[in-house]
Chains A and B, each alone.
Chain A
């Protein structure tokens, strides 16, 4: 806890320095008379340090979804990539396992500084969340049995479940309604949630069929 407290103030100072909070709450105002952003289109991080701090800022503000913040910081504020590159990187991130923002961090970091860039970006992204989660975890071990804590978590649990279900519904709404989506979605749900088959088995059985069907339909 002491390390965390000592670490936080300089961190906040840096964050304020790195990005004006107002930039995060509105669309960026064009800063030159011609309506173009001030930074050059091909801006890139000057150093590993800048890359690390930029992604650590991202890791520290994104509550319930980092993606919108990632766009604002990387595209609007830093101009390291444009909207199209951001969308491309994100869709590649979605093809890979794991969080798409951490995949984006790795690919982008690598493109600037090789393996050191990938390590700097991903360490930046997870540094603060990991500190946070460890503190929460230790607190839970000490105070988790208190009735008040149990009651609070009892209220948060259903909300967290609702967040996941809403994420699923948003995801579903982003696809066209088709036999493919409904059929394979339902099959996966039944196999995982109701039959409790193991994920490797489900993927080996369902993924080739689903990908094959998608291949044939186009």
Chain B
């Protein structure tokens, strides 16, 4: 574990991550984990996974786990600053480039970009799953819950919220 970066360095890093999240939050969870847990120890392994799990209980678009990370590391101000650092750059990019990209979406090089990035996004999403599953697999119940969730989500059209509620209930009963 190297010397911890200051707040500004952390915000700058999250601003950078914001622009790399092609594929959404789950594509950048592994990098957040690497930065906050592995490299600098701002959060513990299971703390990181718990906060991510907690963020799943909120409605709306995914991605606010970063707010919880900030809140846990240094309180409300960092939560707000980190959230802005994580969202503003990609918002500005969407505002500036959205109409432009829309015009060129069907050109050959945009199609190449999309098809080229697709497997990278896939690799990153599966990395997220792997990192979170490893943190949750402290016993056989954890391993089983991950497996059952995958099967149910692929085989049924159940709302994932029920699976989260069931997970909480099973955890409590254990």
Output the least CB separation between B143 and chain A (Å). 7
* Interface residue A168 (Cβ < 8 Å from any Cβ of B): yes
Q: B121's contact among A138, A171, A196, A215, by CB below 8 Å, is which? A: A171
Contact B171 A196 (CB under 8 A): no
Contact B130 A193 (CB under 8 A): yes
Contact B124 A192 (CB under 8 A): yes
Output the least CB separation between B72 and chain A (Å). 7
Interface of A: prevailing SS = helix
* Interface residue B36 (Cβ < 8 Å from any Cβ of A): no
Contact A63 B102 (CB under 8 A): no
Contact A96 B93 (CB under 8 A): yes
Output the least CB separation between A143 and chain B (Å). 11
Contact B20 A172 (CB under 8 A): no
Q: Number of B residues whose C-beta is below 8 Å from A?
A: 109
A91 / chain B contacts, CB cutoff of 8 Å: 105, 114
Contact B149 A163 (CB under 8 A): yes
Output the least CB separation between A72 and chain B (Å). 15
Output the least CB separation between A86 and chain B (Å). 12
Output the least CB separation between A60 and chain B (Å). 5
Output the least CB separation between A152 and chain B (Å). 4
Q: B51's contact among A129, A140, A181, A211, by CB below 8 Å, is which? A: A140
Q: Mark B51-79, 1 if CB is under 8 A from A, else 0.
A: 11111111111111001100110001001
Contact B67 A133 (CB under 8 A): yes
Contact B146 A183 (CB under 8 A): no
**Are A214 and B131 CB-contacts (below 8 A) given A98-B18, A188-B124?**
no
Output the least CB separation between B25 and chain A (Å). 7
Contact A163 B126 (CB under 8 A): no
Interface of B: prevailing SS = helix
Q: Number of A residues whose C-beta is below 8 Å from B?
A: 97
Within 8 A of A (CB), among B100-124: 101-102, 105, 108-124
Q: Which residue of A lies closest to B102 (CB)?
A: A92
B170 / chain A contacts, CB cutoff of 8 Å: 155
* Interface residue B19 (Cβ < 8 Å from any Cβ of A): yes
**Are A98 and B24 CB-contacts (below 8 A) given A64-B161, A122-B91?**
yes
A122 / chain B contacts, CB cutoff of 8 Å: 91
Contact B137 A62 (CB under 8 A): no
Output the least CB separation between B90 and chain A (Å). 3
Contact B58 A164 (CB under 8 A): no
* Interface residue A14 (Cβ < 8 Å from any Cβ of B): no
Contact A160 B123 (CB under 8 A): no
Contact B22 A97 (CB under 8 A): yes
Cα–Cα, bound, A134→B72 (Å):
11
Cα–Cα, bound, A188→B150 (Å):
21
Output the least CB separation between A125 and chain B (Å). 7
Contact A155 B118 (CB under 8 A): no
* Interface residue B125 (Cβ < 8 Å from any Cβ of A): yes
Query: What are 28 A-to-B residue pairs whose CB atoms are below 8 Å?
Result: A60-B60, A88-B105, A89-B102, A91-B114, A95-B105, A98-B90, A102-B63, A110-B98, A126-B60, A130-B64, A136-B57, A140-B68, A152-B172, A155-B145, A155-B168, A156-B54, A156-B167, A157-B49, A158-B137, A158-B143, A161-B135, A162-B163, A168-B122, A175-B118, A180-B119, A184-B123, A193-B30, A214-B116
